[in-house]
Structure 1
């Protein structure tokens, strides 16, 4: 512990060596450290909090938007499947596509009916109908569409060999393909499409036709985001991480992010690219095993805040520079007179404060300081003179105190000798009186103790009562109603003895009957109630007797007791005298203080008879 304290003290000394010693530097660094630095940190923190709040708000909005895109894509995917099944199970399409008559009139009528029904089915996917194209091919190679192609289509223009081969290999009658748009006779900004290829058949019969539903997902995605409140870039990625579509041709994803998105994951994720200051949100499109990525550039949103921050830093730097210059000028004008004053004070100290400062050229606070210093030197010089005199007086008083300390010990030793002489002479009453008086003297002379145990205080009361009963001729008795559990409660020393003495001297001096004193102690929560009741002549008669006898000692004793209670318990104790029909009741309430008994090291200056 000593080594650690030395090391800690050494570190404090080392730190102090780096601190400035002059007051102007201390004031400057104090203002800089406790005003400007916290202000700078607080302002930067405010900007950071604003950026964080904006980032959270934008992130919430972008998450909401990308979830809407995902829900719309899944809904469209489900609708396309539903429509394909509806066409396959519709008996009208079965009848139209299995008709054998190939006359021109019948073929044109059938084409009009089929294409009108396909257009009707497509219109139910509104507003997505403009991005969806239905095409039917019957067994004769006739093509029927839900749209108006730019040229006459053949079966090979609709059915791709890749799709037919995949269906043949997998044995499925319905597959999804991501492929080139091909020559389907529509105008599109994208060269690729999402196609649903389905073989139409009923039961185990031979297929009666083929259905291809083409979805221009690129145009659909760009139209979806036009109405979003927060503009951002969107990307469609396949399972291999290849970009299928993007909402802006100039938008791009860093290679490290594309590599990260190639890892299989079916959870929504959020990333923040600190290099490009981009917020990325990823949604997994389970129906196609694709990923939808939104990219939000924070620079375009919080660019003004960054500019404000830079402007603030420039302004703050200029302000600090001006502050340093002005502060040094002001502090130098203040500290220069103080330095001169310091040198003059040093000279006065070396002259034992018998010199004074010259205040003719001083003004303002420095003049007031110099005048105060002159007054202080005069007072200090007078104090020096008084201290020298007081030191001599203290030496004399200390010598007298050493002599006075011998008197109580001499008195107790003499009393102890008288007690043993009485024992040898078989004067038991005198021995008991000496023992009781010794207890009272020992307690009263012990000035280091203000509180004693209840059991010790009762012993002192019994000792005092024994002496008093031997001294006075009128009879009286003392009844102790104290619970033994209160033996180690602390009470003021000689407080009960004073109350008992007051009852005896004031109550029993003119009492014809036998006197009685009842001592009660009761625990009241966190308080101790002390009551001393007598059957004496009462308060009024006792006051008259005191006036006639011109005695004030007992009045002083009760006043002293009240003052002791006030000093010991700081206003938490109370004391009162109450006149009864016969006698007086003294009541005191003090805080309940319980102490452990002290068993070792006890001694007595006057030995007991048993010793």
Structure 2
């Protein structure tokens, strides 16, 4: 026996120490970690359940907003009088009623600017009123059509309370609204007699679900809402939207209790499932996320501590394994050399021994941090780019306003009141179009209209010294263009082309499409300009002096805006035309207005 206990090699000593020290400690560690993890899971689920209940409360608060809109419309005496008419209004009476109701709709929905609500009134007298933002015709949807749908009688049994209707239950509303919606329906009565006069429908944007329910959740956690018919009417995972939940043990747990959490399979994945009830609706708000084993992080930390505690016991093994450690260090060094050669995608794998884990973790964290900083620099550069574009758009030349107002004052002094009135009208239209619309991309027809207002103003100022013509192809007028890029070219033709010209001047503005490009041309028959100076201003992007700026935005400004928004293959060019004047040619890409300013 004594001979058997002799350790004539370090290998035997290591095996023995592993058996009598390390292995029992590891078993104890597994037991402790299992307990800690389960306790942590319970506390995590409990805290997230509280968060889920808070979201249910937020939905209730949102319903309060809808109630305020509904009550505000329902209890308004004038609105109630109009919708209670037994006969359908026509002519001026209908227009007046439409204006009053539209004004009230706008007033109520603007009380909640962060929400998206749109109101419809459907009356038994065949009068229908839709919020103007819906762009619906008068008979887009009527009472008699909705009365045939299955949900209608349920809504009418609610008396004066609101009935919440998911879009899938109404085929008529499905066709009317393309995006996912939730509708709040309320029966309308005459305030005096109590007679039913129609229904009010508040269309609630799908974005509200995202704002109220999703919040700032982790990407691994998904959320769904199940209505009283077991239908999924909202899901952060698009694959689950519209499904009917099966009648199984999981659903029974959710249906029979107001709140709770348990473990179950969702989409073939073992998950934490939490649920809470939405008061007043009979709906359930459910969140789920994959079941996590919390072994890795605790395992690393514990074994780092154990490695330190066992250092004195295993000091002989350290010397014995110095060659092994050296080889591991060489491998680690090769990883580091890959990074020093510029490969920031390199990561040290976690197949090293425990002593190296912290080094690997910190090294990988450093690389992650470097990549994050680089991405942040890219974002800041993009923001700087956007700010530069905004600064270019904000260059306003006060001399144009001053000169225009002086011209109008001179007309008034000369008792040319008609001309002064026309000038003021053109000037006000130009200012309104320039400042009211904050979008950087506008339809070409609006940009041409601004140029025409400017031409009308300059025609009065220069005493009919020039004429103009605008030729725009039908397939380009609805396309997009940067704001305030045509008017400066027109002003250049007037100020530099006609000031020294004795006879009548002419300006022709053309807009046409060539494949995937739009070309805008401004042509004049003036005395010409210094092409070298203009080309330097365009292509070298020189800063234009205040006295040379065209309507507050110079040629270099226009060129820089086009380049920054669309790229180097677009921009301005200038040439002398056959009449001796100048032709400016602007090339931009085809821009469809839908989503152009998002």
TM-score above 0.5, yes or no: no
More helix by share: 1
Higher Cα Rg: structure 1 or 2? 1
TM-score, structure 2 length as denominator?
0.41
The normalised TM-score by structure 1 is: 0.40
